[in-house]
Amino acid sequence: MENLALEGALTVTFVRSLFAHANIVDVDATAAEALPNVQVLTAADMDLGVFGPPPFPGVNPGMGRPLLAVDRVRFVGDIIAIVISDDRATGADAAELVSVDYDPLPAVVSPYEAAKDEVLLFPEVGTNVAARFGSPEHDEKLFGGCDVAVSGTLVSQRMAPCPLEPRSAAAELGPDGRITAWLSTQTPHQDRMVLAGTLGLDPAQVRVVGPDVGGGFGAKMLNVEEVLVVWLARRLGRPVRWTETRSESMVALPHGRAARLEFTLGGMRDGKVLAYRLEVLQDCGAYAVLGAFLPNLTGLMASGVYAIPRIEFESRSVVTNTTPISAFRGAGRPEASQVIERAIDTFAAELGMDPAEVRRRNFIPADAFPHTTASHAVYDSGDYEGALELALRSVGYDELRDEQRHRREQAATTQLGIGISCYVEITNGIAESEFGEVEITPDGGAIVRTGSFSHGQGHETTFAMIAAERLGLPVEKVTVHKGDTDEIAKGTGTYGSKSTQIGGAAARLAADDVLELAKQLVADYLEASPADIVLDPAVGRLHVAGDPSIGISWADLASRASADERLAELKAEHEFQAAPTFPFGAHVAVVEVDTETGRVELRRLVAVDDAGTLINPLIAEGQVHGGIATGVAQALYENFVYDDDGNPLTGTFVGYAFPSSADLPSWEAVEMETPTPLNALGAKGIGESGTIGATPAVHNAVVDALTPFGVRNVDLPANGENVWRALREAKA
Amino acid sequence: MTRIALTVNGSRCEADVEPRQLLVYFLRDQLGLKGTNVGCDTTSCGACTVLVDGESVKSCTVFAVQADGCEVTTVEGLAQGDELHPVQQAFHEQHALQCGYCTPGFVMATISLLKENPNPSEVEIRDGLEGNLCRCTGYHNIVKAVQAAARAGA
Amino acid sequence: MIPAAFEYERAGSVDEAVALLGRDEDAKLLAGGHSLIPTMRLRFSRPSLLVDIGRLDDLRYVRENRDRIAIGALTRHAELIRDPMLREHCALIGEAAALIGDPQVRHRGTIGGSVAHGDPASDLGTILLTLDAELVARGPRGERTIPAAAFFSGPFENALEHQEVLTEIRVPKAAGTYLKYVRRAHDWATVGVAAARVDGRVQVGLTSMGPTPLRARSVEDALADGASPADAAAHAADDTMPPTDATASSEYRAHLAQVLVRRALERL
Ligand SMILES: Cc1cc2nc3c(=O)[nH]c(=O)nc-3n(C[C@H](O)[C@H](O)[C@H](O)COP(=O)(O)OP(=O)(O)OC[C@H]3O[C@@H](n4cnc5c(N)ncnc54)[C@H](O)[C@@H]3O)c2cc1C
Ligand code: FES
Ligand code: FES
């Protein structure tokens, strides 16, 4: 958007709350408006209603967010006023001159405190609880018959998604009254619907274009800022542009995770798990957005890769005076796998059994698919034990345990820890559909139009490969178009790692349809029957079966069809819908822990990730690498924290510990492919697996290193200070 | 306004700038060189890295006036016609980018790193790029790209 | 973010810089800019006039001055790392400089700016204090030499007067070591520890353990009384005021100081 040449675009700068919770007594913009060409708008100018919450079942509808804070601010970063200026520098000067008179209210930062309903964010609602899922009823006999039951708490700490490109949006009102919005988004078509709904427009009046986007990771979904930019373009009748600064992004772009998970796991001395209880307290931040709903996914995936006969799940989502929580790489599923993997290790430690062995005794066996868990998920396919064995072999598990034993005997300052995580996750979780269209171009190439979006996932390449393979075209002859709601009829976008499995599948089906259409056209031209025409994929030529000499290449077909004005016949669209798939894998992490300073060094991470058939292994591997780094960042580095008054303490990249290359090792990714029966490609999603698998592996490795010291848990992130605390508590 | 004269990607240019104009915005907004990105406001991410007199510098933390008389190279100044710079080529071949937002900064930092240390070990590469952040790649392929570029004698 | 507006002048000499500073009480010197510009971007600092001394190349040097080493105030971190003279006679300066920020920062930041900024987390500040360095400043009334012990007067405060320019730093030839504990490679020190043998005595300094760089006097005294490194190190946090922030708690810093002091002494 910053790179978009929009003649005469005005700059938008938001004036954001410096208080976590306060009544707004007065906003005085006199000094700001004294600067050249500066205009300031506040809630008094706003004619639109409340934004959200999303219409998820069970989420309290009274906790939506006013587009501009009305009378009250609920987190540091809430928008109080909008500055319109000619350029960025004047905007920054003016925003500073808008003087806001606050009447501070007590802030509630911890979800525990919020759950007490003493300080209310929405007094008119009467509670801070935004949603409840699962069942509050306890089965007294849940752990009946268990030899052993272990309990613990895992806090999946708040993370800032940190796409490297901060958000940006621009909008322009056309002479025909249609509005065009350029958004850094993952979901152009959905955004069009929500924008139209919020602004009271016919969706046909709204065009959304998603240019190249510098990473999304779930966070770049339509938010109040984008709605305001579009609203401003209509109201001012001038193009407008907004680009957030990093400091702004750190508090304004929704955060992820922020869940407290309490577990009890019970079973027999032989390692067999019988029952599991999971209770989640989800912090949703100041307004109920997607975050309020996430525990639902955590509950669905509670069973992990294990056949656990009895599971009880309960969650509450509460609002606090902090940045709203939304999806972030994994969204609800990492939490599930972090807690079950910690619980299994805790159980193994209690039994004095090797954690790999406890896992083996509880896996859902490879011949038991499809499998329905006690937490109501229907897993499509998997080989969990196979993934673990492959990971253990790759890492050299037995040799590592020998070295660990040696260091323990030596009482070495630097101890070795080995951590395992076996995970299963869900992609395309709500069984959505995706749109694909394929069209032959006059030069005999093809255009693929997809409703998926790409912000670094490389769908252009993957989808081009899929269509090229079906049509027998070189991949360079296929271009992929996405992200413009005027050009692409419909779409759902990219999230939940669903793009290849449904978007790619739709593109494949559309390519197959085009091939059938081409056969008819060729049959016409060659005066043959369409049933007799075949494609030679090696050379991209359609010919009569049995006689390759009678045929026509794509290029010739296209030029002839163009001349005859029949090219339009070589175009097909397809919508593909399918049930969720369940990628899985096993990660093994090796860490060294300095038992004096607490410092943790991640030495190795072996990742076996099975996402079904891989269309483009290079791209899939890249997704895994990035995912692992995010998972490790949660395990060892990042944590978004506030002080007791709700002031962010990690609101820049200086405070927030986003790791660099120097903090991480190379990754050892090992491929495994167990195709899903649910789509023709056999593909599952890969975008979030690395993240989901890596955090528990590294977390377990740190605790494993410290087992001889009596340590049973280390808080996340397992950094030097938290390790030191755990050691100190174990000694006490 | 202060008048400055500098060389950008081999061409001389003169311009009037406000003293508070940061070099990165001068390059992007005044010269239209949009390859250099801005990812933070605390000198942390390296997305804005350019070469000033041959050394990697974060152009968000230099005023344009400070670059008066200097030689500045941005990512646009690397390719020779259609031929990518060896470091760019290596990033491309090793699939070292996903969203690509961090890439120009990494490429410039790599050029400076390899100039100072033509045969870096993996640890030296990782440490040498500590001033650049990437959220997409997990750095793995970036490190491979730097190794490949070093082998290619970039 | 964009800094508030200011005027800009480039000084052609130290004397010109001194004179320009006299023009405005809100004027500030600009050296490498790698502490000042970040604070200006967040608008924590808003000087009215910047006097750029970044081109005073005659203040970029490292040279032997009898038993001492003289370092020009504008010598950049990257130059300190490569300098053969320092490597031979006072290696811990280059060692510490190599741990500052990242390569881009080290290409711009200067030793003078590093200590004049007065950040309690400045690595070189601790080194100079540990070495009992002397800081040479030039002002309207000429030149004076300030001992490091009198230089660091508070967080982001120092003994320089408004119009004074730091021109040179003099350190003794000494063997020493610097250990820096960081959360991430490119971070500021959670805790830093310098240990050096100066004129036969072991001196120890601490980074990020109080409002300024600190000397661990109790450790030094214990060593002088013949204590073992481990016993002396137990005093590392005596008389310190380690902060609690997003990086670490005060208690953890105190603990780290003890571990790192012992390790630094053992390495010495
Ligand atoms: C991302 C990042 C990470 C960093 N990490 C570290 C780190 O780990 N450890 C560390 O020690 N430092 C770190 N720094 C700071 C870095 O070392 C700075 O370069 C240094 O602190 C300031 O030097 P400068 O030349 O850039 O000073 P400037 O920013 O130009 O000036 C700083 C202050 O000193 C004054 N000043 C400058 N020169 C003189 C002089 N000759 N006489 C009198 N006053 C003067 C200026 O007026 C100003 O107030 C980091 C900086 C950044 C941006
Ligand atoms: S934009 Fe310059 S370092 Fe981030
Ligand atoms: S490729 Fe997206 S931030 Fe590096």
Task: Tell me which residue in C5, C252, C260 faces A721 most closely, judged by beta carbons.
Answer: C252
* Residue A521: pLDDT band with limits 50, 70, 90: confident
Nearest-angstrom CA–CA distance, A526 and C37: 73
pLDDT over 70 for what percent of chain A?
Answer: 93
Alpha helices in chain C (DSSP H): 14-21, 36-41, 77-82, 84-89, 91-97, 103-108, 111-117, 123-130, 148-151, 217-224, 229-233, 250-267
Range of the domain at B133: 86-151
Domain termination site, one of C37, C52, C67: C52
In a 3-state reduction of DSSP, which class is residue C31? coil
| B22·C2 Cβ contact <8 A | yes
Question: Is residue C263 included in any domain, yes or no?
Answer: yes
- Ligand of minimum distance to the alpha carbon of B135: 3
Asked if C184 and A245 come within 8 Å (Cβ–Cβ), the reply is: no
* Shortest CA distance from A459: residue in chain B: B98
Question: Closest ligand 2 atom, CA of B44?
Answer: 3
Give the residue from B77, B97, B115 where a domain finishes: B77
* A93 contacts C246? CB cut-off 8 A: no
Q: At C111, give phi and psi (nearest 5°).
A: -65, -40
Q: Which residues of C touch A (CB under 8 A)?
A: 1-2, 4-5, 42-43, 102, 181, 183-188, 190, 245-249, 252, 255-256, 259-260
C79-99: b (≥16 Cβ within 10 Å) or e? bbbebebbeebbbbbbbbbbb
Task: Give yes or no for A596 touching C (CB within 8 A).
Answer: yes
CATH of residue C250's domain is: 3.30.390.50
Q: Do residues C219 and C118 share a domain?
A: no
Q: Among C172, C197, C219, which residue terminates a domain? A: C172
Confidence label for A95 from pLDDT (cuts 50, 70 and 90): very high
With a CB cutoff of 8 Å and minimum separation 6, the contacts of A192 are A203, A206, A207, A208, A485
On whether the CB atoms of residues A558 and A440 are closer than 8 A, the answer is yes
On whether residue C2 sits in a domain, the answer given is no
User: Rounded distance, CA C133 to CA C172, Å?
Assistant: 7
User: Among all residues of chain C, which has the CA nearest to that of A648?
Assistant: C246
Quick one: closest CA in C to B56, which residue?
Answer: C104
Helix ranges, A422-458 (H): none
A334–chain B Cβ distance below 8 A for any pair: no
C35 and C99 co-located in one domain: no
Q: Which of B40, B103, B130 to mutate to test the pocket of ligand 2 (most atoms within 8 A of CB)?
A: B40
pLDDT at A456: 57
Please check whether residues B112 and B66 belong to one and the same domain.
Answer: no
Structure confidence at residue A440 (pLDDT): 84
Same domain, C179 and C156: no
pLDDT of residue A213: 58
Mean pLDDT, rounded, for B49-64: 98
What is the mean predicted confidence (pLDDT) over A690-696? 93
A135 phi and psi angles, rounded to 5 deg: -120, 130
State pLDDT tens for residues A599-643: 999 999 999 988 777 667 777 788 889 999 999 999 999 999 999
User: Are C73 and C146 in the same domain?
Assistant: yes
Residues C63 and C144 in one domain: yes
Closest chain C residue to A246 measured between Cα atoms?
Answer: C1
Out of B41, B134, B141, name the one closest to residue A245 (CB): B41
- The 10s digit of each residue's pLDDT in C133-165 is 999 999 999 999 999 999 999 999 999 999 999
Domain edge (last residue) among B15, B45, B77: B77
Spatial distance between the Cα atoms of A656 and A602, rounded to a whole number of angstroms: 19
Q: Provide the number of structural domains found in chain B.
A: 2
Pair B135, B101 in one domain: yes
Same domain, C100 and C134: yes
Cβ-based neighbours of A67, under 8 Å, separated by 6 or more: A46, A48, A50, A51, A79, A224, A227, A228, A231
Q: Which helix (H) or strand (E) holds C139?
A: strand C134-139
B37 C-alpha vs ligand 2 centroid, how far in Å?
8
Residues A576/A433, Cβ–Cβ less than 8 Å? yes
Q: Are residues C118 and C77 in the same domain?
A: yes
State the ligand closest to the CA atom of B145: 3
> What are the φ and ψ backbone dihedral angles of A622, each rounded to 5 degrees?
-60, -40
By C-alpha distance, which of C9, C148, C16, C161 is closest to C71? C148
Boundaries of domain holding C29: 7-52
Pair (B58, B102) in one structural domain: no
Q: Of the candidates B53, B77, B101, which is a domain's last residue?
A: B77
**CA–CA separation, A604 vs A588, rounded Å?**
8
| Alpha helix ranges (H) inside C64-117 | 77-82, 84-89, 91-97, 103-108, 111-117
Q: Is residue C189 part of a domain?
A: yes
Q: What is the pLDDT of residue A620?
A: 75
Best of C6, C15, C34, C138 to mutate for ligand 1, by most ligand atoms within 8 A of CB?
C34
- Do C97 and C161 lie in a common domain? yes
Amino acid at A85: S
So what's the pLDDT on residue A414? 98
> How close is the Cα of A653 to the center of ligand 2, in Å?
10
Confidence class for position A442, pLDDT limits 50, 70, 90: confident
| A496, pLDDT greater than 60 | no
Question: Does C260 map to a domain?
Answer: yes
Determine the distance separating the centroid of ligand 3 and the alpha carbon of B136, expressed in angstroms: 4
Alpha-carbon distance C122 to C136, whole Å?
Answer: 19
Instruction: Give the pLDDT score at A430.
Output: 66
Nearest to A658 by CA among B46, C202, C174, C243: B46
Contacts of B55 by beta carbon, 8 Å cutoff, 6+ apart: B112, C78, C107
C186 CA from centroid of ligand 3 (Å): 19
Residue in A641, A656, A724 closest to C255 by CB: A724
Q: Per-residue pLDDT averaged across A41-52, rounded?
A: 89
What residues of chain C lie within 8 A of the CB of A96, using their CB?
A: 43
Domains of chain A: residue spans and CATH: 10-105+161-252 (3.90.1170.50), 106-159+255-363 (3.30.365.10), 387-415+583-732 (3.30.365.10), 433-577 (3.30.365.10)
| pLDDT per position as a tens digit, A639-656 | 999 999 999 999 999 999
Strand, helix or coil for residue A320: coil
- Is the Cβ of A35 closer than 8 Å to some Cβ of chain C? no
Q: Of C223, C217, C254, C219, which Cα lies nearest the Cα of C233?
A: C219
pLDDT at residue A457 in the model: 58
User: Do C61 and C166 share a structural domain?
Assistant: yes
Contacts of C130 (CB under 8 A, 6+ apart): C176, C194, C195, C196, C198, C203, C204, C205, C215
Q: Is the pLDDT of residue A114 over 90?
A: yes
The pLDDT-based confidence of A458 (bands split at 50, 70, 90) is low
Q: Are residues B15 and B72 in the same domain?
A: yes
Q: Which residues of chain C have pLDDT under 50?
A: none
The H-or-E segment that residue A246 falls in is helix A246-252
Q: Does C192 reside within a domain? A: yes
- Confidence (pLDDT) at A126: 95
Please tell me whether residues B17 and B70 are part of one structural domain.
yes
Nearest to A349 by CA among A710, A720, A714, A724: A710
Residue C1 lies in a domain: no
Looking at the fold, whether B61 and B111 belong to one and the same domain comes out as no
Q: Residue B38: CB within 6 Å of ligand 2? A: yes
Last residue of a domain, one of C131, C147, C172: C172
Q: Tell how far the Cα of B119 is from the centroid of ligand 2, in angstroms.
A: 27
Q: What is the CATH number of the domain that holds B120?
A: 1.10.150.120
List the CATH number of the domain containing B65: 3.10.20.30
Is C161 part of a structural domain of the chain? yes
pLDDT of residue A707: 95
What distance in Å separates the CA atoms of residue A274 and residue A29, rounded to the nearest whole number? Answer: 64
> For residues A499 and A457, is the Cβ–Cβ distance under 8 A?
yes
Average pLDDT over all residues of chain C: 97
* C138 and C185 share one domain: no
Does ligand 2 have an atom closer than 6 angstroms to the CB of B98?
Answer: no
Domain check: are B94 and B119 in the same one?
Answer: yes
Residue at A50: amino acid letter: V
Residue-wise pLDDT for A177-227, tens only, equals 899 999 887 788 888 888 998 898 998 899 988 876 555 566 677 899 999
Question: What CATH code is carried by the domain that includes residue C20?
Answer: 3.30.43.10
Q: Which residue in A637, A658, A724 is closest to C252 by CB distance?
A: A724
Same domain, residue pair B93 and B44 = no
Strand B11-17 vs strand A584-594: parallel, antiparallel, or unpaired?
A: unpaired
A416 near A572, Cβ under 8 Å? no
The pair of three-digit structure tokens given for residue B51, joined into one six-digit string? 């070469």
Number of domains chain C is built from: 3
Q: Which residues of B touch A457 (CB under 8 A)?
A: 98
The ipTM (two decimal places) reads 0.96
DSSP-based three-state secondary structure for B11: strand
pLDDT band at A422 (very low <50, low <70, confident <90, very high): very high
State whether C91 and C191 are in the same domain: no
Q: Is residue C180 domain-shared with residue C255, that is, in the same domain?
A: yes
Closest alpha carbon to A375 in A515, A582, A577, A199:
A582
Q: In terms of CA atoms, which chain A residue is nearest residue C247?
A: A655
